[in-house]
Structure 1
Amino acid sequence: MKARTGKLAHHCWKFRFVCLLSTLFLPGFASAFEARLSGVPEDDPLFSSLTSSSLVFQAQQDSVTDGQDIVAAAQADYKRLIGTLYAAGYFGPSIRIRIDGREAADLSPFANLTSIRQIVLEVETGPHFKFGTAQVAPVAPDTELPETFASGEPASIAAIQDAAVAAVDGWRAKGHAKADIKDQSITANHRSAELDAEVAIDPGPELTFGNLIYQGGSDVRESRVHRITNLPTGERFDPEEARRAATRLRRTGTFRAVDLREAETPNPDGSLDMVLTLVDDRKRRIGFGAELESSDGLSLSAYWLHRNLRGGAERLRFDASIENIGAQSGGTNFRIGTLYSRPATFEADTELTVGFEIKQEDEPLYFLRQVGTTVGLRRVHSERFETEIGLGVFISEVDDNFGVRDFSIYGVPFRVKYDARDNIADPTRGYYIGATAFPYLGYSDATNALYVTGDARFYRGFGMDNRVIAAARVQIGSIIGPTIRETPPDLLFFSGGGGTVRGQPYQSNFVSVGGIDSGGLSFLGLSGELRVKVTQQISAVAFYDAGFVGETANPTGPGNFHAGAGLGARYNTGFGPLRVDLGLPVSGDTTGGPQLYIGIGHAF
């Protein structure tokens, strides 16, 4: 029995081999085909739209060889190509699809063609129609219809749809939550190549927000859900306010899914209830991170997160990190900290935070051990703009070139952030502005001071699909009031390394006052990057960084300057780019040589 089985397997292998050879070399078997589009110039954007919508071109790219599948794709393309042409404003097209010279529409869908060599899609677009009548009514006050929907403008289905959506949204913004399209009339006049489009809108009644109908699905207490959502019951309906309510819930980080939708029908009193369904995310989460720099060594970080700690969507997070493992200078730094946050404290858009941290910094110019705690309130004014204010206490033991000292500072940190980037992890356009002001009272060896910093980042994409992206960054900082000796060294400014000047060793730029080396009282940093997409996942990067550290609080006063430049690569992982940069010193007093940086996320 075993011998027969082995012999049968041997014959089956020979049969498969013969089939493979036949597929490759005999004309009777199906093979890859050529697809061609005629009638539209290749440099016309319409050419790309037609080929992208074509199932024939998709089948060619996928190397489909089954005859029936290819015929089905060709026959489906009549409708798909007409839809694309209608959307572009061509309402009198003629389309012929030939499979080896035969019209695809005339073939039986069950035709078993064993060999297809060429498919030609012949397109005659006809005239490009313009709008004759272009009307949507009634329109709510202050509604702006798209400029593309007007008499004499190039006609397109998309322009009609955009106008209808704008009209409905205009009424909804005025409280008419159930506004909808009542009727539409679209007529093509082929003699004059004009398209008459009339859209009738039914505004429906003006409504107010009703009750929040919470259908559960979460371990968060219902009272807290209502407080976080903060639905303005009794006020005029506003879709933006409904969107903000859902955003508040998502911002807590507690829920995996948030579904806030309008009830199907209004209440008899003219109110409209909102129906909410929530799905909790996992209560606990662990994360890890790593970054490698050639001179600064390896940095490792980890965190543990607990969501919905007390049933009110609170979060408790513990962080730990070790830096400069194997660094060429300095020692090992570590941080251990915890942060508690509670959303909707005092009001819906304000979050309470309480933090505690222990850290050690063993840097080339100082050794510091510190305990610090902060209590703060973070206010989210919009999706882009937020502020934060708090109380902070930091107690430090320091050993540096000035000797062994103790610092105690008590202050009010204030932070502001405006983020107008299109994508936080991988921006292609927009800008980011952040600033910190930290006035504090100093005790022991510290003196009263005002610590201020600013960070501005700008992004601009060029070419098709933003193939080239220019990015720039400006950093500035100043400590007003004390001398260098009277300032905790972890607040003083240095430059060099991945966060400031790549190509220069970490914290290699500092000042020397009275023969004593230390960080400075001011800082100015400039960075520029040119990111060029090589493929959808890989980008090449050229960068230049420069940094100035000042001896006084004035960043235009005396101090030291250095710069670095280099090349890098980015690999798009989907959650942020994997970054590899190699930098070299350009100016400044350094002997560090090439510097390598590896991490997750852009440098800025």
Structure 2
Amino acid sequence: MRPSFLLLVRSFAQQCAGLAVLVVFLLALATGSARAFTLQFTVASDDPGLRGDLEAASLVANAKRDGVTAPRDVLAAALADYARLLRSLYANGHYSGVIQILLDGREAATIPAFQTPTAIDAVVVKVDPGPAFRFGAATIAPLAPKQTPLPGFRSGARAYSGVLQDSVDSAVDGWRHDGHAKARLSRQQVTADHRAHTLTARLQLSPGPLVRFGALRLTGESTARSDRVARIAGLPSGQVFSPDELEKVAARLRRTGSFSSVSLVEADELGEGNSMDIELALVDAKPRRFGFGAEISTFDGLSLSGYWLHRNLLGGAERFRIDGEITGIGGETGGIDYDLNARLDIPAAFGTDINAFVFAGASYVDDPVYQSWQARLGGGVSWILSDTLTAELGVALRHSRTRDGSGDRTYTLLTLPAGATWDRRDNQLNPKAGTFLDLLATPFVGLGGTGTGLQLTADGRAYHGFGAGDRVVLAGRLQAGAAYGSNATAVPAEFLFFSGGGGSVRGHPYQSLGIDLGGGNFTGGKAFLAGSAELRANVTQTIGLVGFVDAGFIGAHGFGDMAWHAGAGVGVRYDTGIGPIRLDVATPIHGTTGQGVQIYVGIGQAF
């Protein structure tokens, strides 16, 4: 008798699982004592990895560790262990194993379901795995163009059962990526030769026809309009099927934030011309959400922030958000600053992956070197070029009144900000690997006699983890900026640069490094550079320690002759699961803009 191996394993596992559930239900009606049992778990093998896998798979071993004592529970675990241990043997390439599970000397499989022992004192699990099997003949065909079998699926290789399933999955996936959405395993012949200790596997695939995307069909209920959902999803109807394109459809819908669940199901039957419809089921997220945050430092004082968010505002998965921030409370940064912004994002406004946004905002900044009142209104377009690359182009009208070392000035500017962000971090709040780069160019045109110029900024970050689980992370950051104007007073104060504080150089007061105009007057520079390096180490799963050094440079007119300062310190991180709580203590190590120790508390890593 030569049974179909994959079907046999699946059927046997399903039957054992069903039997275990039935037994647990029936045995729950019985009574038992709470006497602890002893466990003897023996494996006739010198392979520690095999023993570890078997013990990990054993429910009896888990019950012993968890202190389970009820006889009905121990019996149920023992009955389920036959199938679990057998699957573990197959996974390790052993197909002639013998399993014994004795409860007080009785084979567990022979104990009637309605005769649960009143007590179980000793459990003995004996596993003789038998010899390891290797593949005899190992074939899988046909494969998609340019695809080869998995390295472990070959004659003479260890016959792990997982390799069989992985080989089928890989081959089917290869055909699906080649446009054959209905590829499947059509025939299999898997037999074990117990005398030769070999496993012969001959697998036959049916690629099916070349499939094209059909229509997107919405199922279930959503407050988002179907036409807008289809536009956002961007299913490429008529094009050759691709799993990657299908994942992009789901990602676009999730990215809006309007849906808590996005499910795409391929139609079972193909339509005319081998087209395949896609069923889409959406579950709406809660329409409104709010949040708040706080950060404190010894010099900058307390910062409070909050937001209110409305999802699917107009029925097209639009996102409307209001943000407010108050900073400098109780600090030594001049006075209290206020900032209020509102923004509406419209997904797929100009086509799939081309979004629109409009915004308005007002702010008041009271710094030691300047005061500014500003109002702004604008909009723009953003492109989602890939999972990691986005670009944005906007236009905005800004009106501001500033007072600094150069006197009182009023600006009315038309700005044309254009930027790109390349984000390849593995986690935005607590990255351990990857890179981040943000570039922004903001030309401004003066109206009503105001000067014309350009501001450029760049922010680059990199992360590299070491050790098991990336317990140690080396993080680095470089910032640069430049401002250009037709004359010295053409650049508004908010486009100039300062250094110091939690966002640039810790250990020095906020915006403490700028350009001294003499006579007690102070302004920002037209050139800026900053660098930071951190060594982050996890002490426990939730506690981490950080050592860091920061440096900042400011140039009055360019990068040729720049003043600079630096700071260093240590920090503690407490991982909350969604992001770390940060405590940094820093002191100056170069420059005259700071003295003493500065303390910073916030949420998320410093960068």
Letter matched to residue 594 of structure 1: V
Report matched runs for 1:350-361 at 5 Å. Answer: 350-361=354-365
Q: 2:145 aligns with which of 141, 145, 150?
A: 141
Q: SS in structure 1 opposite 2:495? A: coil
Instruction: Tell me which residue corresponds to 2:206.
Output: 202
Instruction: Tell me which residue corresponds to 1:585.
Output: 588
Q: 1:419 aligns with which of 395, 401, 423?
A: 423
| Separation of aligned partners in 2, 1:555 and 1:107 | 85
The question of whether the paired residues in 2 share the 8 Å contact of 1:496 and 1:504 is answered with yes
TM value normalised by structure 2: 0.85
Instruction: Tell me which residue corresponds to 1:271.
Output: 275
Is 2:590 aligned against 1:603?
no
Letter matched to residue 235 of structure 1: Q
Q: 2:536 aligns with which of 527, 531, 534?
A: 531
Identify which range, 279-288 or 583-592, moves more after superposition.
583-592
Instruction: Tell me which residue corresponds to 2:159.
Output: 155
The question of whether the paired residues in 1 share the 8 Å contact of 2:219 and 2:281 is answered with yes
Letter matched to residue 296 of structure 2: L
| Separation of aligned partners in 2, 1:190 and 1:552 | 83
Extract unaligned runs of 5+ from structure 2. Answer: 1-32
Instruction: Tell me which residue corresponds to 1:439.
Output: 443
Letter matched to residue 281 of structure 2: T
Q: SS in structure 2 opposite 1:225? A: helix
Is 2:601 aligned against 1:570?
no
| Separation of aligned partners in 1, 2:185 and 2:404 | 73
The question of whether the paired residues in 1 share the 8 Å contact of 2:565 and 2:593 is answered with no
Q: SS in structure 1 opposite 2:273? A: coil
Instruction: Tell me which residue corresponds to 1:5.
Output: none
Q: SS in structure 2 opposite 1:30? A: coil
Following TM superposition, by how much is the alpha carbon of 1:308 offset from its aligned partner in structure 2, in angstroms? 2.1
Q: 2:498 aligns with which of 494, 500, 503?
A: 494
Which digits, 9 at most, give the CA deviation of each residue in 1:576-598, with x for residues without a partner? 23333333333333544333332
The question of whether the paired residues in 2 share the 8 Å contact of 1:136 and 1:200 is answered with yes
Sequence identity percentage: 39
Letter matched to residue 189 of structure 2: S
| Separation of aligned partners in 2, 1:97 and 1:196 | 30
Identify which range, 481-490 or 458-467, moves more after superposition.
481-490
RMSD: 3.0
Instruction: Tell me which residue corresponds to 1:522.
Output: 527
Q: 1:219 aligns with which of 213, 217, 223?
A: 223
Letter matched to residue 528 of structure 2: F
Instruction: Tell me which residue corresponds to 1:14.
Output: none
| Separation of aligned partners in 1, 2:558 and 2:157 | 57
| Separation of aligned partners in 2, 1:38 and 1:519 | 74
Q: 2:403 aligns with which of 376, 396, 399?
A: 399
Which digits, 9 at most, give the CA deviation of each residue in 1:113-162, with x for residues without a partner? 6474x766555555444433332211111335433333344332222222
The question of whether the paired residues in 2 share the 8 Å contact of 1:511 and 1:549 is answered with no
| Separation of aligned partners in 2, 1:473 and 1:394 | 30
| Separation of aligned partners in 1, 2:405 and 2:101 | 82
Q: SS in structure 2 opposite 1:490? A: helix
Q: SS in structure 2 opposite 1:394? A: strand
Extract unaligned runs of 5+ from structure 1. Answer: 1-27
The question of whether the paired residues in 1 share the 8 Å contact of 2:364 and 2:372 is answered with yes
Report matched runs for 1:25-40 at 5 Å. Answer: 30-31=35-36
Report matched runs for 1:38-77 at 5 Å. Answer: 45-46=49-50, 48-77=52-81
| Separation of aligned partners in 1, 2:422 and 2:42 | 48
Is 2:231 aligned against 1:231?
no
Which digits, 9 at most, give the CA deviation of each residue in 1:149-200, with x for residues without a partner? 3334433222222221121122222222211111222233445544332221
Following TM superposition, by how much is the alpha carbon of 1:347 offset from its aligned partner in structure 2, in angstroms? 0.9
The question of whether the paired residues in 2 share the 8 Å contact of 1:49 and 1:84 is answered with yes
Report matched runs for 1:112-131 at 5 Å. Answer: 112=117, 114=119, 116=121, 123-131=127-135
Is 2:324 aligned against 1:285?
no
Q: SS in structure 2 opposite 1:170? A: helix
Report matched runs for 1:174-189 at 5 Å. Answer: 174-189=178-193
Q: SS in structure 1 opposite 2:246? A: helix
Q: SS in structure 2 opposite 1:547? A: strand
| Separation of aligned partners in 1, 2:364 and 2:489 | 20
How many residue pairs get aligned? The number is 573
- Are residues 302 and 567 of structure 1, via their aligned partners in 2, closer, same or farther at CA, if it must alter by over 3 Å? closer
Following TM superposition, by how much is the alpha carbon of 1:75 offset from its aligned partner in structure 2, in angstroms? 4.1
Report matched runs for 1:284-363 at 5 Å. Answer: 284-363=288-367
- Are residues 225 and 408 of structure 1, via their aligned partners in 2, closer, same or farther at CA, if it must alter by over 3 Å? same
Q: 2:434 aligns with which of 430, 453, 459?
A: 430
| Separation of aligned partners in 2, 1:522 and 1:213 | 54
Letter matched to residue 519 of structure 1: G
Q: SS in structure 2 opposite 1:269? A: helix
Following TM superposition, by how much is the alpha carbon of 1:378 offset from its aligned partner in structure 2, in angstroms? 0.7
| Separation of aligned partners in 2, 1:179 and 1:333 | 62
The question of whether the paired residues in 1 share the 8 Å contact of 2:288 and 2:310 is answered with yes
Identify which range, 293-302 or 331-340, moves more after superposition.
293-302
| Separation of aligned partners in 2, 1:545 and 1:525 | 11
- Are residues 102 and 364 of structure 1, via their aligned partners in 2, closer, same or farther at CA, if it must alter by over 3 Å? farther
| Separation of aligned partners in 1, 2:576 and 2:366 | 34
Instruction: Tell me which residue corresponds to 1:9.
Output: none
